[in-house]
Amino acid sequence: MARAWLGLGGNVGDVVAAMAFALRNLDTDRFVHVAKVSPVYKTPPWGLIDQAWFHNCCAEVESGLSPEALLVLCREQERLGKRQRSVRWGPRTIDIDVLAYEGVEQVDDNLTLPHPRMSQRSFVIVPLADIAPDLVIEGQTMTQHARAQVADELDRLDLPTDWWRQDGNQSAR
């Protein structure tokens, strides 16, 4: 089993419930175990900025899948969450990215690891630093990356630490 880190987010519908559903589904797969999940943050849009704010979190998983197979499983969770891919960086019910995979660096048409641009996105770095402070990306730990981010636009939601295990509506407060 290798460790991998996922970024989850969305801004359409009850995103917290959608992320919780996806994480619970991933955790039931025989080749994936959800080991850690960050708090949820309300974050401003990135890229296409004329849209609703997002809710984001990160998860550390233990996986017996290849990085590509893990991505396929994540895409299946997006499909179950009714994700529509129409506008790049546009509104979505749920988005799940494979951010990093232990011991793997690759660049190809389907998957680049570590995820490109992740160190430029506070909505990735801050929650990732919560669960993997010593993970090194681009020569720096997540803690070092987080210190360099402007995180004052991020609003940490007041949810239980096991928010994702809760079955039911965990609407953002």
Q: pTM of the entire structure?
A: 0.91
Distance CA 7, CA 130 (A): 12
pLDDT at 90 (0 to 100): 63
The Cβ of residue 3 has, within 10 Å, a number of other Cβ atoms equal to 16
Q: How many CA atoms does the CB half-sphere of 129 hold within 13 Å?
A: 20
Per residue in 12-39, pLDDT (tens digit) is 999 999 999 999 999 999 999 999 999 9
Which domains are assigned to the chain? Answer: 2-165 (3.30.70.560)
CB 154 within 8 A of CB 123: yes
**pLDDT score recorded for residue 47:** 74
Pair of tokens at residue 150: 């402007």
pLDDT score of 117: 87
Residue 114 CA to residue 98 CA, distance in Å, equals 8
pLDDT < 50 positions in the chain: 169-173
Query: Can you give the pLDDT at residue 166?
Result: 82
Per DSSP, the chain holds a count of helices (H) and strands (E) of: 4, 10
89: tokens are: 């960086």
Q: Cα(173)–Cα(157) distance, rounded to whole angstroms?
A: 7
The reported pLDDT for the residue numbered 30 is 96
